[in-house]
Amino acid sequence: MIGYVTVGADDIDRAKRFYSSFLPALGYALEEGPEGLSYVLPVEPGQSPVLPDFYVKPPFDGRGASAGNGAMVAFEVTNQQQVRDLHAVALTAGGTDEGQPGFRASYGPLFYVGYLRDPQGNKIALFSSNPNDPGRDD
């Protein structure tokens, strides 16, 4: 199981605008600190943490943040409409389009995905495989 994911950011305010545009819709709450942004899923008192956490922080080595070539973080959402809605919101919050929401020929007939880059260049996917949504016409 993945415990947490961290992406680097040089401009925490821009990153906050971008990630806060869609992560709360997925249940994440923002905890800010001097070390950056921590998006966590809520936990009922007495319950174990719900994973994974998602962190946005300046690199610890003090050098500039950079996006990993081939690295991507994918967030599962409820349905195809939410993929479209959150993709659009994230674009208006400073993201750039890396692939409009839709089906991809190389994936299964229910896999519906939209791709973005955050303001630092990290690649983000928003996807749904909801069996109640229409599938790809093959």
Residue pointed to by tokens 């991507």:
72
Q: Could you give the number of structural domains in the chain?
A: 1
Q: What is the domain range of residue 19? A: 4-59+70-128
Residue 135 in any domain: the answer is: no
pTM over 0.85: yes
pLDDT confidence tier of residue 137, bands split at 50, 70 and 90: confident
pLDDT at 69: 86
Residue 21 in any domain: the answer is: yes
Residue 137 in any domain: the answer is: no
Residue 99 in any domain: the answer is: yes
Residue 136 in any domain: the answer is: no
Please answer whether residues 89 and 111 qualify as being in contact, where contact means their C-beta atoms are separated by less than 8 angstroms: no
CATH of the domain at 76: 3.10.180.10
Question: Is pLDDT of 1 > 90?
Answer: no
Please answer whether residues 70 and 45 qualify as being in contact, where contact means their C-beta atoms are separated by less than 8 angstroms: no
- Taking each continuous run of H as one helix and of E as one strand, the counts in the chain are 2, 8
Residue 64 in any domain: the answer is: no
* Three-class secondary structure of residue 97 per DSSP: strand
* Three-class secondary structure of residue 63 per DSSP: coil
